[in-house]
Amino acid sequence: MEVYGKTPQDARIARIAEERNIDRDTLRWLLATEDEDALFCLRKTARETADRAYGKRVFLRGLIEFTNYCRNDCYYCGIRRSSPCERYRLKEEQILSCCGAGYELGFRTFVLQGGEDAYFTDERLCGLVSAVKERWPDCALTLSVGERSRESYQALFDAGADRYLLRHETADAAHYGLLHPAEQSLAERKACLLHLKEIGYQVGCGFMVGSPGQTVDTLYADLQFIRQFNPHMVGIGPFIPQKDTPFGGEPAGTAEATIRLLSVIRLLLPKVLLPATTALGTIHPKGRQRGIRAGANVVMPNLSPMAVREKYRLYDNKAYTDAEAAECRDMLREEMREIGYEAVCARGDYRKEPETEEMI
Ligand code: SF4
């Protein structure tokens, strides 16, 4: 491992990379420091770690937000069941048409994301997954539809789903209780993640940066959970308040903290698929580029029909709501080219490596 400079700060960062671990004090320091040289070293070490795993390539995933109905009431979310937002649910033909248009544009991963919508029974969702995989067998299909039973996850996997995103939100049970109503629990969320992994999905967890009640200690718990769970993907983005939610008046998380944590996660899990999220692009005009330069290697342009984009409003002022799929792809390609990276539409599967010994 090359160490940049010889300062004690640089050595501290090199140690995170070597041990693939971080202690609480180092995390506290990295989140608070204004030492630009140390932060440069952090980003550079993380970026070079990503380059070794995936080269100068950034994977594009085509995102389709297919329903904004949700049975849950997470306090931070703009489509929670108590939200006054206008509801929509795409028909199967509309979803397939989005995939078809995405395929023509070159996309080879589709991410089907929605709230926990009871309309999508196992039968309906498995039918949709099978239809996508039959028409485009060379594509990876990622689902992001929340908590379901183990049997349901198994049926969706058997129908052809390859990957599943389910943010854990926070690995601290008390903090989880602050962000969610009592009917939701961290234990259940963790059980779902474990089921997904056991079934054989490529699994993603993640959390918001700067959510109400978050502390260095809860973030430390998040990083330890991520390190031990060893997911294939990690999605983190700044918390952005949505005005109709109970947290509508809370301050947003920052791009700066998100970028520092992206780098730390890259050092903990060198091969992880790590998006520079839309939320990061929303909170800072160069957010996605900065995220990639700090170690991220995925971006997820929106393939949803223009007519419904405004309605999938998890938070306010979401970026790129107005860009057509092709325009969005081209803008992202240009953004990546500007910083020396090639945005590719390939499946971009996780590169396998042995599990850690500390699986939960
Ligand atoms: S975060 Fe997900 S589960 Fe929670 S209310 Fe929003 S869509 Fe539903």
**In the predicted model, is pLDDT for residue 314 greater than 90?**
no
Across residues 257-262, what is the average pLDDT? 98
Contact indicator for 161, 201 with CB cutoff of 8 Å: yes
Question: What's the pTM?
Answer: 0.95
Q: Is residue 209 part of a domain?
A: yes
Q: Is residue 36 part of a domain?
A: yes
From the CB of 167, is ligand 1 less than 6 Å away? no
Which of the four pLDDT bands, split at 50, 70 and 90, describes residue 294? very high
Angle at 242 between CA 325 and CA 172, to 5 degrees: 105
8-36 pLDDT, tens digit each: 999 999 999 999 999 999 999 999 999 99
Indicate which CATH number applies to the domain containing 17: 3.20.20.70
| Distance between Cα 147 and ligand 1 center (Å) | 10
Any idea which of 1-10, 125-134, 340-349 has the lowest mean pLDDT? 1-10
Q: Could you tell me if residue 358 is inside a domain?
A: no
Protein residue with its CA nearest to atom 7 in ligand 1? 115
d(CA 105, CA 103): 5
pLDDT of residue 99: 97
Mutating to test ligand 1, I would choose from 85, 89, 116 the residue with most ligand atoms within 8 A of its C-beta, which is 116
Backbone angles phi, psi at 108, to 5 degrees: -120, 10
Of 209, 115, 227, 228, residue with least CA distance to 170: 209
Ligand 1, atom 4: closest residue by C-alpha: 74
Residue to probe by mutation, ligand 1, list 69, 74, 89, most atoms within 8 Å of CB = 74
The answer to whether residue 1 scores a pLDDT higher than 60 is no
316 lines ligand 1 (CB under 6 A): no
Quote the mean pLDDT of the chain.
94
The count of domains in the chain is 1
CB of 197 closer than 8 Å to CB of 175 = no
Which atom of ligand 1 approaches the CA of 70 most closely?
8
Question: Residue 189 domain-assigned?
Answer: yes
The answer to whether residue 354 sits within a structural domain is no
- Nearest ligand 1 atom, CA 147: 3
* Residue ranges making up the domain that contains 271: 8-344
254 lines ligand 1 (CB under 6 A): no
- Segment 121-143, tens digit of pLDDT: 999 999 999 999 999 999 999 99
**Residue 327 banded pLDDT, cuts 50, 70, 90:** confident
φ, ψ at 177 (rounded to 5°): -65, -25
pLDDT over 80 (residue 94): yes
Q: Provide the 8-state DSSP code for 356.
A: P
Nearest atom, ligand 1, residue 77 CA? 6
Per-residue pLDDT tens digits for 195-243: 999 999 999 999 999 999 999 999 999 999 999 999 999 999 999 999 9
> Does the beta carbon of 144 sit less than 6 angstroms from any atom of ligand 1?
no
Neighbours of 194 (CB within 10 A): 15
Spatial separation of the C-alpha atoms in residues 286 and 194, rounded to whole Å? 35
What is the distance between the alpha carbons of residues 200 and 347, in angstroms, rounded to a whole number? 17
Cβ–Cβ under 8 Å, residues 218 and 175: yes
Residue closest by Cα to atom 2 of ligand 1 = 115
Would 268 be classed as within a structural domain? yes
Percent of the chain clearing pLDDT 70 (strictly above): 96
